[in-house]
Chain A
Amino acid sequence: MSHATPGTPDRVHLDNGGRAPWHPLARQAFEQALADGWADPRRLHAEGRRAVRLLDGAREAVAAVLGARTQEVHLTPSHTASLHSAVASAAAARRRAGGTVVASAVERAAVLHAARAAGELSTVPADRLGRVDADAMVSAVRAPGVALAALQHANGEVGTVQPVEAVHEAARAAGVPLLVDAGASVGHVAVPQDWDLLAADPADWGGPAGVGVLAVRQRVRTAAVGPEDEDPWAPGGVSVPLAFAAAVALQAVEADRAEQEARRRALVDRLRAQVARIPDVEVVGDPDDRLPHVATFSFLYVDGEALVTELDRHGFAVGSGSACTASTLEPSHVLAAMGVLTHGNVRIALDRATTADEVDRFCEVLPDAVARVREMLGVGGL
C-alpha cells in the first residue's frame, strides 16, 4: 500500500519529481505553523513576532542543511521563481562584465528562458547520457563577456549528475558566479558545496509547493530586478506555514537520506534492468552516476500519451517527456539535447514511500502496456 495517494490504495504514484507527497512531519509542522504563525511576520505585535520566529527558524534549518549561513538563504514563491530571480539579479549585477549567460542545454526551461531575457544565452551541449561537456563549459565560462554560468546538480528528467565541481572551479577562477539548480537532488543525495547561488525545491523533497529556496553566497553581488519590496526575493512575503513545513520536511528527509538513497538506488537499478528487456527500448541517462530515484526510458513506435493513459488505467501514474504529452507539441528539450528517442517516453521518480512491491508490480504491467499501445498502432514486425 502506498502513502502516495491517500485513500486510493490501488493507485501507485511514480511521478514524484518536482511534486512529491508531503512528508508526514511536514503536515504536522504545517498545522502547527497555521495555529502559531498565521499572522504577517512583518508586523510588530505578539502574533507577528510569533510568525517571524517560525520564519527565521525555517531559514536557519534550511541553511544548516545546505551548508550556508542563515542570511544567505532566501525564501521565494516557487522553484521556478527562484531560478528566474537568481539569473536576472546575478546577471544584472554583472552588467559591466558582459551580458552572456552560459548554461547547459539540459537546464530547466526556467533557467534558459531567464537567461535569454537577461542577455545572450550561450548553451553548452550534453552527450547521449545527458552529461554536460565539462571542458566545453569551462571554455565557455572563461570567454570574455560572461555575466553568469548555470549548471544543474543533476538532471531531474533523466537523472544524470553533472560535473558541477570542475565547472565551479573554472568559474571561480574566471570571477563568474555559478548558479546551481539542485531542485531535483536536494533531499535525495548529499547537497553540493560548489556553488555561488543554489536553488532547491521543497515540493521535490516532500515539502509543500508554493515556496522555493534560493541561497546566495554573501560574496556574490545581486541587483534588485523585481518590484520594490521589503523582500525582493518574494515580494509581499512568503507564507510562514509553507516555509516552516518545507524546512521541517528537509530536516526529516536529511535524517535518513543515506538509507533512502541506497534503497531507492537498488529499486531503480532493478527497474532499469527489467525495462531493458522489453523490445526496442532506450533506457535513458547515465547508468551509474545518477540520481537514486529517477528512471527514464523511450519505447520505439509508442505514442507517449497513449502509454501514460494505458498505465493510468492500470493504476500507475507516470510522467513523460514526449511531444504528444506537452501542450507545446515539442518534445522535451532535454531528450532533444541528448539525441535520444523522444517518442514513447516514460519518466519515473520514486517517492520515499514507494515500495519494492510497487516497483515489481509496475515491471509486470509495463511490457503488456507497451505491447498493447504498439498493437493499436499496428507496428508488429517493424
Chain B
Amino acid sequence: MDARGLRCPLPVIRLAESAKGLPAGTELTVLSTDPAVKLDVPAWCRMRGHEHVTTREHTDDWTGWAVTVRLG
C-alpha cells in the first residue's frame, strides 16, 4: 500500500480501503511520508479491532515510515 506523498488523513483512508473485504489475519503494510501515520495507524487499529505489528523508519532511498498491521 503506497501512500507516499499523501497527507493525513489520506494514508489511513487508503489503508482502510485496502483492508476492506480482506480476511482476518492478513498483514498489510502502508508506506507514507506523512509523520502522522506513526500515530494514526495504531489509533485506527485500536478503533477498528486490528493489530499494529511494526513501524519502521525509512531514511535511505526515501524518507518516511512503513507501518504494518494485522487485520482483526
A binding-site residues for B, Cβ under 8 Å? 280, 282, 298, 300-304, 322-324, 329-331, 335-336, 339-344, 377, 379, 381-382
Contact = CB atoms under 8 A, between A and B. Distances in A.
Given A323-B36, A329-B34, A330-B35, 9 more contacts: A301-B9, A301-B13, A323-B8, A324-B7, A335-B39, A336-B38, A339-B43, A343-B36, A343-B40
Contacts of A331: 8, 35-36, 39
Interface in B11-65: 12-13, 16-17, 20, 34-36, 38-40, 42-44, 47
Contact of B43 (A323, A341, A379): A341
A94 B35 CA distance: 37
5 tightest A-B CB contacts, nearest first: A343-B9, A341-B43, A382-B16, A343-B8, A323-B36
Contacts of B42: 339
Contacts of B36: 322-323, 331, 342-343
Majority secondary structure, B binding face: helix
Contacts of A382: 13, 16-17, 20
A323 B38 CA distance: 12
Given A280-B47, A329-B35, A341-B47, A303 B8 contact: yes
A142 to B, nearest CB: 31
Give the one of B7, B8, B44 with max A CB within 10 A.
B8
B39 A341 contact: yes
Contact of A300 (B34, B35, B44): B44
A329 B7 contact: yes
A285 to B, nearest CB: 15
A331 B12 CA distance: 15
Given A322-B8, A323-B34, A324-B7, A341 B13 contact: no
Contacts of A304: 8
Contacts of B44: 300, 341
